[in-house]
Amino acid sequence: MKPVSSSSSSGDLLKHAVLAIGAVFILLPFAVMISTSFKSPADIANGALRLFPTEYYGFTNYAEALSATPLLRYMANGVVVTVSIFALQLLVALPCAYALAKLKWRGRDTVFGLILFCLLIPPHAVAIPVYVLFYWLGILDSYTSLILPWTISVFGIFLMRQFFKTVPDDLIDAARMDGISEFGIVWRVMLPTALPAVTAFGIFSVIAHWNDYFWPLIVLSSEDYYTPPLGVATFRTAEVGYVFGPLMAAATIIIAPLVLAFLLAQRRFIEGITFTGMK
Amino acid sequence: MAEVKIRNVSKRFGDTSVLENASLTIAKGEFVSLIGPSGCGKSTLLRIISGLELQDAGQITIADRVVDDLRPSARNLAMVFQSYALYPHLNVASNIAMPLRMQRLNSFQRLPVIGRFLPGSSAANDGIARQVRDAAEMLDISHLLERKPGQLSGGQRQRVAVGRALVCNPAAFLLDEPLSNLDAKLRVHMRTEIAQLHRRLQATFIYVTHDQVEAMTMSDRIAVMMDGNIIQTGTPDEVYDNPTDIRVAEFIGSPKINLIPVDVEPGRGVALLAGADSGVVAEATAVCLGVRPEAVTISPDNGLLAGTVEHAENLGSEEYVQVRLHALPDTLITSRASHGTGWTRRVGSTAHVSFDRDRILAFDGAGKRVACQPGVPHPASGKAVAHG
């Protein structure tokens, strides 16, 4: 056993200092956003760096945020789109990952290589071809156009495949002996076993698509289907001009569900990441 | 409970042949162990019987029905795995119930929540619950039914795995090294329990192991496998006393059998060990004699061959003494000496070994057993008589 020396405790101090600076750096914009959402226009225009507002203006800002644009509608759209995307991603990724991790077939490694290769293709590179395709199919400006391109998540397949690799073969053989079909094994054995990894993937997926600005901006033209980030954008360019208070209130509202979801799933999320990191 | 027949089964993985023409018939209610070193194909053979692996050639028959085209679950077998393979997200009761649920409920009845209210499912569920309780009682795990596998010890998990196997009343039990993940003490205990379970159920058991003690203590018959072949099948006594192959002789028995190079005198056929008459007559093709450690007598002053005590282990109940022969410096003879003979204090001293002539086995150059029996002692050598 090594005695706790002063050098190690000062090392700890340094570590915590670095982490604290990093945390402040990352949290500061959020703090500014939230504090601005409670400030009056005069307070904001003043330009002084102040965390707490001189006069409480929160109710006005949040009321304005919710009334100036159909923010709740945008958030409902966001929920429909992100939940559908995640559900469909699982529907595709879990059987794929199972086949890649646990079934033996000719060309499996080649296929896995191709899938890894797909990780290298940025979605923006194929945005125009997909847009043209959707134009021909006549499905632009719809939920379908928001959801369909993201249903196959290469990252999801990869992550789940790595996790499934760690599930012992005996468990799958036992399920086969018990009479569970191959698809049954995916949903009734692999999915419950891989719940931490599914949660981790869920957080990645939901955050990415809740916050996505690029793709909805391209395919949507009617405001009925707007997702939260697009909604905030309309807010900024609305005829009232730059009103930071309500804008920041709107931003706070659309971020809140993500923060809540992360806090709820945090433990499983970290479990999932560390577990997949083990092998 | 059923007879299981394995007929000329072969299996290759790529270029390596794991099973070559293996044949074995396991009678109704018999406990047969498949034993061999790792990589001998014993687990593959078990997986082929279960249907988890398909053979390239040959036939598997269970209860007079050819099962080659049947899925694992349709063969009415149950398997206990080395890692127990319990569903980690289900509690003990659900784990044991799984095979029954798959058999008795259709896919709608198995749906969570809604399934309970479908016609017929509550009667089926009651039946399943009763059988699960019975199995749990039999294995003394009733108090664990609500726990998850992660909260159980190794031995308890083992029982749950056995419970999942016996609840569906299978034609035969397949056990794939079920005790090798347990610690030594628990292994001895579970060995007894599995043997008792077999006696109680009177079911067919096929047990794969690399541990010859497990095979010897539990089985009605042992099938010894080497390099993809079943080289000998017989009762534990037969396999121990009358191995047909030098590999069987070496694999079964601990400490290992002593193998001593031998010259057979042409004509009379007397087996000579470093020129000394061993007292047995062997076939001319014999190149080596095998003697079990308990058939070796060791004495400080007289015997057939002299050597130096190189090492002695005191096990309390007995002593294992290793003697390096002067005349055959490459040969180390292990003797099982009785308790309190004090050989551990005599390491480095000279000892004389002699053999129980009735228990000497002879093997030819290919490792096959050849005939060998006690002969008339050579008149010129009185040594064989001294310890005859």
**pLDDT tens string A9-31:** 888 899 999 999 999 999 998 89
Q: Which residue has the tokens 């085209």?
A: B69
Residue B362's beta-bridge partner residues?
Answer: B289, B370
Q: What is the full DSSP assignment across A178-209? A: TT--HHHIIIIIIHHHTHHHHHHHHHHHHHHH
The whole-angstrom separation of Cα B1 and Cα B204 is 6
For residues A98-116, one letter each, b for 16 or more C-beta atoms within 10 angstroms of the residue's C-beta and e for the rest, the string is: bbbbbeeeeeeeeebeebe
pLDDT recorded at residue A268: 67
Task: Label residue A1 by pLDDT band (50, 70, 90).
Answer: very low
Task: Label residue A222 by pLDDT band (50, 70, 90).
Answer: confident
Mean pLDDT across the stretch B264-269?
A: 84
Q: Where in chain B is the domain with CATH 3.40.50.300?
A: 4-246
Domains of chain A: 6-62 (no CATH), 70-278 (1.10.3720.10)
pLDDT at B16 over 70: yes
Percent of chain B with pLDDT over 90: 62
Q: Are A78 and A254 in contact (CB under 8 A)?
A: yes
A75 CB within 8 Å of a chain B CB: no
pLDDT at B384 over 70: no
- Name the closest residue on chain B to residue A195, using Cα atoms: B89
**pLDDT tens string A156-210:** 999 999 999 999 999 999 999 999 999 999 999 999 888 888 988 998 899 899 9
CA distance A168 to chain B (A): 8
Mean pLDDT across the stretch B134-161?
A: 91
The whole-angstrom separation of Cα B176 and Cα B156 is 17
SS3 B365: coil
User: B4-246 has which CATH code?
Assistant: 3.40.50.300
pLDDT recorded at residue B265: 86
Number of residues written out for chain A: 279
CA terminus-to-terminus distance, chain B: 49
- Hey, are the CB atoms on B87 and A168 less than 8 Å from each other? no
The dihedral over CA atoms of A113, A114, A120, A123, expressed in degrees to the nearest 10, equals -150
Contacts of B87 in chain A (CB under 8 A): 171, 174-175, 189, 192-193
- Hey, are the CB atoms on B98 and A178 less than 8 Å from each other? yes
* CA B304 to chain centroid: 34
Enter the pTM of the model: 0.82
**pLDDT tens string A236-267:** 555 556 678 888 888 899 889 888 888 887 77
DSSP A150: G
Question: So what CATH class is B255-386?
Answer: mainly beta
pLDDT recorded at residue B382: 41
Mean pLDDT across the stretch B342-363?
A: 90
Distances (CA, A) of B28 to B32, B62, B135, B205: 11, 10, 22, 9
Enclosing H/E stretch for A1? none
pLDDT recorded at residue A274: 52
Q: Where in chain B is the domain with CATH 2.40.50.140?
A: 255-386
Enclosing H/E stretch for B177? none
The contact set of B with A (CB < 8 A) is 47, 50, 52, 71-74, 77-79, 81-89, 98-99, 102-103, 164
Q: Which of B81, B86, B102 sits opposite A180 (nearest CB)?
A: B102
**pLDDT tens string B354-379:** 999 899 999 999 999 999 888 765 45
Mean pLDDT across the stretch B2-13?
A: 93
Q: Are B340 and B360 in contact (CB under 8 A)?
A: no
* CA A120 to chain centroid: 19
Percent of chain B with pLDDT over 70: 97
For chains A and B, CB pairs below 8 A equal 61
Number of residues written out for chain B: 388
- Hey, are the CB atoms on B102 and A179 less than 8 Å from each other? yes
Distances (CA, A) of A234 to A65, A115, A222, A226, B20: 11, 37, 12, 10, 74
* CA B285 to chain centroid: 30
- Name the closest residue on chain B to residue A104, using Cα atoms: B53
**pLDDT tens string B83-124:** 889 998 899 999 999 999 998 888 888 887 777 778 778 888
The dihedral region occupied by B274, where left means phi > 0, alpha psi between -120 and 50, and beta the remainder, is left
pLDDT at B381 over 50: no
